[in-house]
C-alpha cells in the first residue's frame, strides 16, 4: 500500500477539487485556506499599504487570484519566487438562452469550453454550478452556487437502434451534446425551472437574479484507486491539482525569507488566456509593479525585481498511456508516481530556461523529490502553458513543470497518489 503521508496530501487535493466545480469556486476555496492563516484581501481599486512580511491576496473576476507573502528584503534586491497555475478546465457551459423543451424533455443548450474528450461526457452523472448576479435595492452582488447532485445527463444512443449497426454513431456537438435535465413542455419553461433551482441552492430570491453563468460538471467524487491505492481518479486534475499544490506549498513554506513568495492562479488558460483575468492580461504585472512602486517608488526597482525573480509554471503532464505507447517519445516516457515533470520544447511552447532549470533541479535535490523530463514526439508536437506568455512579457526566468497524468482532458483523469506530495515538497523548496 502507498504510505499514508502520500495519501493524506492527495486526499486533501481531492477535497480541494470537490469544492471547486468552477474556476470561481476554486478561487473561493483558495481564499478560504489563505484567510484561515491570516491572509487579507486587497482590492485593485483601492490604494495599497503593503509592508515587508505582509500576507495579502488579490482577485479578478472572482476566477483568478494572486497571493503574496512579502519578503524581508527589498523587492529590487531579492525579487519574487512565483508559482503560476490555472483555475479553469475543459467542460460544458450553458448558452444564454440555453434552457429549452424538445420532445417532452427539458434540455440544456451548451457550448464546449476548451478541448474536452467529448465521448467521456456521455452517460455520466452531471451537476451544475456557477454564479448568479443578484440585485437588491439598486445594488448587485455575485453569489456562487453548486447543485451537488446529479441533475442532468447526456444520453448516448443504444447500438440496437442505430441506422448502421456496424459503424460508430457520428456524434454532432450541436445536436447530440445537450444534457437532459428533466421532463416538461414549452409551458413549463415559463416557470424558469433552472433559475429557480440555482437560486434555491444559493439561498436567494429567484426574482432578484438578473443574470447567471452555469457550468456542467461530473459529480462523482474523486477517489484513490488501484490494487494498492497507487492511483487517483478525479475530474479536473488538469489543473486544479497544480492550484492545490501551489497554495499548499505557500502555506507550508518558511515565511522569513528575503524574497517575496507569489502564487498566481489564472482563469481561461484552456481557451488562450486572452481575458482580463487570464495569464495574457496585466494582472500579475500590475500587482508586482504596484507592490514595488508602493514601497520604493521607483519603476527601476520593479525591473530589478523581475531580473532577480524565477517563475514556475505548473500544469499537468502526459504520463505514458500503456494502451497507446506510440503516442509518446520513446526515450522520454513519464510514469505515474515517478515525480514531477520538467517540460522541454525546442519550439518554446514551454518556458523552460537553462538557469531556471538549474534552480528547479537544485530544489528537487534538496526536497529529495524525483524529477522526470517531458519531450513530445517530433511528429506530434505539443500544447502550451501560461509559462511562455508570462516569461516573455515579464522578461523573467521560467521553467514549466507538472505532475504526470493519464486521460488528460477526460471528464475523469488519472494520476499517481505519490506525485502530489512530491510536487508540494518541490514547490516548498522553490519558496524557500
| Statement to judge: residues 381 and 274 lie in one domain | yes
**pLDDT at residue 107 greater than cutoff 80:** yes
Q: In what order do the strands lie in the sheet with 223-225?
A: 223-225, 231-234, 413-416, 404-406, 317-318
How far apart (Å, rounded) are the C-alpha atoms in residues 274 and 251? Answer: 29
pLDDT in tens, 237-286: 999 999 999 999 999 999 999 999 999 999 999 999 999 999 999 999 99
Q: Rounded distance, CA 42 to CA 397, Å?
A: 27
Residue 298: the pLDDT is: 80
Helix pair 4-18, 419-430: axis angle to 10 deg: 90
- Domain edge (last residue) among 218, 253, 285: 218
Query: Taking residues 170-192, what's their average pLDDT?
Result: 93
Dist. CA 163–CA 159, nearest whole Å:
9
pLDDT score recorded for residue 371: 97
By the 8 A CB rule, do 374 and 387 touch? no
Model confidence at 214, in pLDDT bands (50, 70, 90)?
very high
Mean pLDDT of the chain: 95
The count of other CB atoms within 10 Å of the CB of residue 260 is: 28
**Residue 370 within any structural domain of the chain:** yes
Strand ranges across the sheet with 209-218 = 139-152, 126-136, 209-218, 91-102, 105-113, 180-183
* 8 Å CB contact between 389 and 273: yes
Question: Which domain does 296 fall in, by range?
Answer: 4-89+235-430
pTM of the model: 0.96
pLDDT-above-90 percentage for the chain: 92
Asked whether residue 224 is assigned to any structural domain, the reply reads: no
Please report whether residue 228 resides in a domain. no
Provide the domain count of the chain: 2
Residues 136 and 239 grouped into a single domain: no
Angle at the Cα of 273 from the Cα atoms of 84 and 344, rounded to 5 degrees: 55
Q: Which single residue is written with the C-alpha cell 490604494? A: 47
Q: Please check whether residues 81 and 125 belong to one and the same domain.
A: no
Same domain for 165 and 100: yes
Q: Based on the domain organization, do 276 and 202 belong to the same domain?
A: no
Q: Quick check: 5 pLDDT over 70?
A: yes
Statement: residue 295 has pLDDT above 80: no
Average pLDDT, integer, range 187-201: 94
Tell me whether residue 257 is exposed, middle or buried, using C-beta atoms within 10 angstroms of its C-beta: 0 to 12, 13 to 18, 19 or more: middle
Beta pairing, strands 80-86 & 260-266: parallel
Is there a single domain that holds both residue 137 and residue 174?
A: yes
What does the pLDDT read at residue 161? 85
Task: Report the Cα 45 to chain-centroid distance in Å.
Answer: 26
Does residue 253 sit in the same domain as residue 352? yes
Residue 386: CATH number of its domain: 3.40.630.10
* pLDDT at residue number 166: 66
In sequence order, which ranges of 113-234 are alpha helices (DSSP H)? 173-176, 186-189, 193-202
- Which pLDDT does position 425 carry in this prediction? 98
Residue 69 and residue 111: Cα distance in Å, rounded?
38
Q: Is residue 145 part of a domain?
A: yes
- Express each pLDDT in 115-126 by its tens digit: 999 999 999 999
Whether residue 98 sits in one domain with residue 85: no
**Has residue 126 been placed in a domain?**
yes
- 416 vs 166, more confident: 416
pLDDT at res. 40: 97
Residue 374 lies in a domain: yes
Contact status, residue 350 vs residue 388, Cβ threshold 8 Å: yes
Strands 139-152 and 126-136: antiparallel
Same domain, 382 and 408: yes
* CATH label of the domain that carries residue 149: 2.30.250.10
Contact 130, 62 (CB under 8 A): no
Residue 157 lies in a domain: yes
- The angle subtended at Cα 116 by Cα 113 and Cα 117, nearest 5°, is 155
Chain centroid offset of residue 64 CA: 10
Q: Give which of 287, 319, 260 is closest to 394, Cα–Cα.
A: 287
State residue 296's pLDDT score. Answer: 64
Mark which of 176, 193, 218 sits at the end of a domain.
218
Q: Are residues 192 and 254 in the same domain?
A: no
In a domain, 223, yes or no: no
pLDDT digits (tens, 9 = 90+) for 359-405: 999 999 999 999 999 999 999 888 899 999 999 999 999 999 999 99
The pLDDT value given to residue 162: 83
Q: How would you list the strands of the sheet with 55-60, edge to edge?
A: 40-41, 55-60, 64-69, 260-266, 80-86, 310-314, 397-402, 341-343, 372-374
- 241 and 371 share a domain? yes
289 and 269 share one domain = yes
* Residue 340 · residue 364 · CB < 8 Å: yes
Last residue of a domain, one of 218, 245, 261: 218
Contact 253, 157 (CB under 8 A): no
Amino acid at each position: 500500500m502507498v504510505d499514508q503521508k502520500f495519501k493524506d496530501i492527495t486526499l486533501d487535493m481531492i477535497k480541494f477539487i470537490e469544492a471547486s466545480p468552477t474556476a470561481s469556486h476554486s478561487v473561493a476555496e483558495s481564499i478560504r485556506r489563505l484567510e484561515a492563516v491570516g491572509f487579507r484581501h486587497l482590492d485593485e481599486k483601492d490604494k495599497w499599504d503593503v509592508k515587508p512580511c505582509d500576507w495579502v491576496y488579490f482577485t479578478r473576476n472572482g476566477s483568478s487570484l494572486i497571493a503574496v507573502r512579502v519578503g524581508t528584503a527589498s523587492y529590487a534586491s531579492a525579487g519574487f519566487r512565483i508559482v503560476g497555475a490555472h483555475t479553469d478546465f475543459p467542460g460544458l457551459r450553458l448558452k444564454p438562452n440555453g434552457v429549452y423543451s424538445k420532445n417532452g424533455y427539458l434540455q440544456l443548450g451548451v457550448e464546449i469550453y476548451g478541448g474536452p474528450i467529448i465521448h467521456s461526457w456521455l452517460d455520466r452523472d452531471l451537476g451544475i454550478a456557477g454564479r448568479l448576479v443578484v440585485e437588491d435595492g439598486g445594488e448587485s452582488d455575485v453569489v456562487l452556487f453548486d447543485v451537488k447532485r446529479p441533475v442532468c445527463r447526456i444520453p448516448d444512443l443504444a447500438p440496437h437502434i442505430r441506422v448502421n449497426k456496424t459503424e460508430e454513431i457520428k456524434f454532432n456537438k450541436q445536436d447530440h451534446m445537450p444534457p437532459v435535465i428533466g421532463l416538461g413542455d414549452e409551458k413549463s419553461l415559463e416557470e424558469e425551472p433552472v433559475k429557480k433551482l440555482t437560486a434555491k441552492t444559493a439561498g436567494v430570491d429567484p426574482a432578484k437574479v438578473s443574470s447567471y453563468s452555469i457550468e456542467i460538471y461530473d459529480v462523482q467524487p474523486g477517489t484513490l484507486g488501484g490494487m494498492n491505492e497507487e492511483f487517483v481518479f478525479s475530474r479536473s486534475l488538469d489543473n486544479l491539482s497544480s492550484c492545490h499544490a501551489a497554495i499548499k506549498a505557500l502555506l507550508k513554506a518558511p515565511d522569513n525569507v528575503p524574497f517575496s513568495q507569489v502564487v498566481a492562479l489564472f482563469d481561461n488558460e484552456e481557451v488562450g488566456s486572452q481575458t482580463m483575468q487570464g495569464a495574457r492580461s496585466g494582472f500579475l504585472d500590475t500587482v508586482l509593479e504596484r507592490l514595488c512602486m508602493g514601497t520604493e517608488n521607483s519603476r527601476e526597482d520593479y525591473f530589478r525585481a523581475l531580473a532577480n525573480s524565477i517563475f514556475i509554471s505548473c500544469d499537468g503532464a502526459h504520463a505514458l498511456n500503456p494502451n497507446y505507447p506510440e503516442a509518446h517519445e520513446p526515450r522520454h516516457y513519464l510514469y505515474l508516481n515517478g515525480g514531477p515533470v520538467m517540460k522541454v520544447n525546442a519550439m518554446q511552447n514551454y518556458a523552460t530556461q537553462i538557469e531556471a532549470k538549474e534552480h528547479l533541479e537544485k530544489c528537487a535535490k534538496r526536497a529529495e523529490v524525483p524529477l522526470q523530463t517531458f519531450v513530445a514526439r517530433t511528429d506530434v508536437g505539443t500544447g502550451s502553458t501560461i509559462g511562455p506568455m508570462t516569461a516573455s512579457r515579464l522578461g523573467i526566468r521560467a521553467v514549466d513543470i507538472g505532475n504526470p497524468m493519464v486521460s488528460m482532458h477526460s471528464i475523469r483523469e488519472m494520476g499517481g497518489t505519490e506525485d502530489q506530495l512530491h510536487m508540494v515538497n518541490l514547490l516548498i523548496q522553490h519558496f524557500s
